Amino acid sequence: MKSPLVTVIIVNSNAGELLVQSVHGVLSSDSPVEIIVVDNGSVDGSIERLRSVYGLSERVTIVELRENTGFTHANNLAIGMTKGEYILALNPDNIIQPDTISGMLKVLAADPDAGMAGCLIKNPDGSEQAGCRRAVPTPWRTVVRILHLDKIFPSHPRFRNFVLSQTPLPDNPVYVEAISGAFMLIKKEALSEVGLMDEAYFIHCDDLDWCMRFRQLGWKILFVPNIVAVHHKGACSYKKPVFVLWHKHRGMVYFYKKFFKHQYPAPLMWFVIGTVWARFIGLVCIEGIKLLKNRGVSGREYEPGKLASKIKSIPLPSETKILQTSKLPTSHDDEIKSIPVPLDKVQDNNIQAGPL
């Protein structure tokens, strides 16, 4: 029986040489694949490098956006262009093996109740990456983690940590509440029912949102422990740490309000949301200290006006511009398909969920 076509979506944002490695891993797959790479305004030469290596491949479609319009928007844009029965959302810094897709297809296709599946994601050092299998971080579970109640009451079912990577790996595929957005294999029939990514998330937390919505509509989520991908986490975000931190924490607050606002007492919700923003402020301060140290500023060398002059020299991000069109290929890139696609709005932002 012929294997079904899988459309692999890769959203690139300054992934460097890893983008080419990721695409190479997909094209080496023993399953029929097509790749749609959406570039979110990269300036590191990664998309030019990809063009030079795979620009003439009929299986690779490259869409260039002038500005970073967000991870979710770029994915939704690509989803509208897919031809496959299955869609694999893959990060550009995630490297797979030739049998990764075929192995995952075999598991997902055999389970009529499952709408998406994720594999075991490892760090480059071989350790399991947190987040590839997890419970949904509900407000209560967040409180448990903040107060370390899981360590105080390790055997109590009400105080379990939502990070499942701290538990032994299962021997066989199991159902989980959420998987990592770095690798999501999705049945197109399930996606047509659930809908596109919620573009209220710029980056981060969009995978949790999607997992919640899949489960709300009765689709199960599989974690497959015997199939591995290697994720060089952070390769696309290290240059703008504060930008990433802002959207990560903002996304988490939006996630809590969207799914749990009416399911938990207001004091608990405000405590959790306040803690999220307090964590953001703390991490920004740490990044600021790192920046000052890297620029040679310390308390011992401080002089009036000296610190201010150094701060003024820090380059600020340019204003975000509204995307007007996708870049069209140049004459020597005629083989590369660059297609702007209109995007429908996500319709289910008001879905509610009970406590987990």
Report the distance separating Cα 242 and Cα 314, nearest Å.
Answer: 13
Measured CA distances, 65 to 37, 43, 51, 68, 184 (Å): 11, 11, 15, 7, 23
User: Is the alpha carbon torsion for 243, 344, 210, 15 positive or negative?
Assistant: negative
141: tokens are: 């579970």
* 35 neighbors 27 (Cβ within 8 angstroms): yes
* 348 neighbors 199 (Cβ within 8 angstroms): no
Question: Distance of alpha carbon 149 from its chain centroid, rounded?
Answer: 28
Q: What is the pLDDT of residue 239?
A: 66
Longest dimension (CA), the chain: 75
Q: What is the DSSP string of 73-108?
A: HHHHHHHTT--SSEEEEE-TTEE--TTHHHHHHHHH
pTM: 0.79
Q: Which residues contact 229 (CB under 8 A, 6 or more apart)?
A: 94, 95, 96, 97, 100, 119, 120, 121, 122, 182, 183
Q: What is the pLDDT of residue 3?
A: 77
**pLDDT greater at residue 244 or residue 2:** 244
The number of beta carbons lying within 10 Å of the beta carbon of residue 56 is 12
**pLDDT greater at residue 11 or residue 151:** 11
Measured CA distances, 214 to 114, 155, 179, 209 (Å): 9, 30, 12, 9
Q: What is the pLDDT of residue 156?
A: 79
Q: What is the pLDDT of residue 87?
A: 98
Length of the chain: 356
Q: Which fold has domain 6-236?
A: Spore Coat Polysaccharide Biosynthesis Protein SpsA; Chain A (3.90.550)
**What stretches of the chain show up as alpha helix (H) in DSSP?**
17-27, 46-54, 71-79, 100-109, 139-146, 149-152, 188-194, 206-216, 241-260, 266-294, 306-312
Q: What is the pLDDT of residue 71?
A: 95
CA-nearest of 141, 218, 131 to 178 is 131
Burial 233-255 (b: 16+ CB within 10 A, else e): bebbbeeebeebbbbbbbbbbbb
Q: 147-157: per-residue pLDDT in tens?
A: 878 788 877 77
Is the pLDDT at 37 greater than 60? The verdict is yes
Rg (CA), the chain: 21
Strand, helix or coil at 229?
strand
Q: What is the pLDDT of residue 290?
A: 85
The number of beta carbons lying within 10 Å of the beta carbon of residue 55 is 18
Q: What helix, strand, coil percent values describe the chain, rounded to 5?
A: 40, 20, 45
Report the distance separating Cα 324 and Cα 96, nearest Å.
Answer: 34
- What are the extents of the domains in the chain? 6-236, 241-298+306-312
* 26 neighbors 33 (Cβ within 8 angstroms): yes
Is the pLDDT at 303 greater than 80? The verdict is no
Asked which of 54-68, 251-265, 316-330 is least confident by mean pLDDT, the reply is: 316-330
pLDDT band at 1 (very low <50, low <70, confident <90, very high): low
Q: 214-258: per-residue pLDDT in tens?
A: 999 999 999 999 999 999 987 765 567 888 899 999 999 999 999
pLDDT band at 341 (very low <50, low <70, confident <90, very high): very low
**pLDDT greater at residue 209 or residue 317:** 209
Burial of residue 342 (CB within 10 Å: 0-12, 13-18, 19+) is exposed
Strands 94-95 and 220-231, by their bridges, are antiparallel
pLDDT mean across residues, the chain: 83
